[in-house]
Amino acid sequence: MPLLELENVSQRFGGLKALTDFSIALEDRELVGLIGPNGAGKTTVFNLVSGFYTPSEGRITFGGRPTRGLKPHQVTALGMARTFQNIRLWNDLSVLDNIRLAHHFRLGYGMVDAVFRTGRYGRAEQKIEREAREILETMELAEFAAEQPKNLPYGVQRRVELARALSTKPRLLLLDEPAAGLNSSDVDGLIRLIRWIYDEFKICIWMIEHQMKVVMSLCQRLMVIDFGITIARGTPREIQSNPDVIRAYLGDGAL
């Protein structure tokens, strides 16, 4: 059984068909890329998969279970985590609290339990704190535990967002343009970090990325969409020389 399966998924926004008949099956421990020009529908795919949108048509299953009707935090609880194209951290909380809050979703506690520290929360608090500190240590973020994300360099904020996603112990990690906004030395560090996460956590990673260097050096296979339509699938090498892909990217300067 695939870890994640999308079958003929389409999404309309009013008169716009943002995604048409999108299908893919991801297995455990794959590292797969989703690419395409701006506005192609890539983020829409992740919003559908992670429960932010409900597909207009088609079927999505995670671990064999249909996800239609589940809310994002319920999908998280099943073992899926994501990062966002524009970093979404709780900027007025500390880095440590950002990680702790993510834990709550995995353990089935709500924001209310976390903020008001109910009895239920109190019992699990020590374990959550210990695990949150562990993931910060692992991701070389321990020194920033008490800082607010908004005061940290962008590259560090990206790492905090990754740490937060990993702290929910996902089987599938979705990364939406993790290299966006990073300078070239940060991009090299990110490539090493994603490879390390993949090896260390032994999970499946599905990433959207605009920087070809990142997908080409990390992904085992790629899928390309343009105007919501799948135009190619293959290894990075196959995709790089695919005439349909080159045409879609012409003028985009990304290849």
CB closer to Mg ion out of 51 and 79: 51
DSSP 196-243: HHHHHH--EEEEE-S-HHHHHHH-SEEEEEETTEEEEEE-HHHHHT-H
20: Cβ contacts below 8 Å, ≥ 6 apart: 10, 228, 229
Question: How many binding residues for Mg ion (CB under 5 A)?
Answer: 3
- Which of residues 8, 13, 66, 140 is near ligand ADP by CB under 6 A? 13
Q: How many C-alpha atoms does 51 have within 13 Å on its Cβ side?
A: 19
- Which of residues 20, 24, 26, 42 is near ligand ADP by CB under 6 A? 42
Residue 62 CB, shortest distance to ligand ADP, in Å, is 20
Contact 55, 69 (CB under 8 A): no
Q: Does residue number 44 form part of the binding site for ligand ADP (CB under 6 A)?
A: yes
For residue 155 the two structure tokens come to 């590259």
Residue 25 CB, shortest distance to ligand ADP, in Å, is 21
Residue of 206, 205, 246 lying closest to 226 (CA atoms): 246
* Residue 40 interacts with, from Mg ion, ligand ADP, none (CB under 5-8 Å by kind): ligand ADP
Residue 174 CB, shortest distance to ligand ADP, in Å, is 12
CB closer to ligand ADP out of 41 and 79: 41
Q: Does residue number 43 form part of the binding site for Mg ion (CB under 5 A)?
A: yes
* Residue 44 interacts with, from ligand ADP, Mg ion, none (CB under 5-8 Å by kind): ligand ADP
Q: Does residue number 43 form part of the binding site for ligand ADP (CB under 6 A)?
A: yes
For residue 210 the two structure tokens come to 């605009």
122: Cβ contacts below 8 Å, ≥ 6 apart: none
CA angle 206, 176, 31 (to 5 degrees): 20
* Residue 122 interacts with, from ligand ADP, Mg ion, none (CB under 5-8 Å by kind): none
Q: Which stretch binds ligand ADP (CB under 6 A): 32-40, 96-104, 109-117, 118-126?
A: 32-40
Q: Does residue number 41 form part of the binding site for ligand ADP (CB under 6 A)?
A: yes
**Residue indicated by tokens 């870890």:** 3
For residue 27 the two structure tokens come to 């297995």
Binding stretches for ligand ADP (CB under 6 A)? 13, 16, 18, 36, 38-44
Which residues here bind Mg ion, judged by CB under 5 A?
A: 42-43, 85
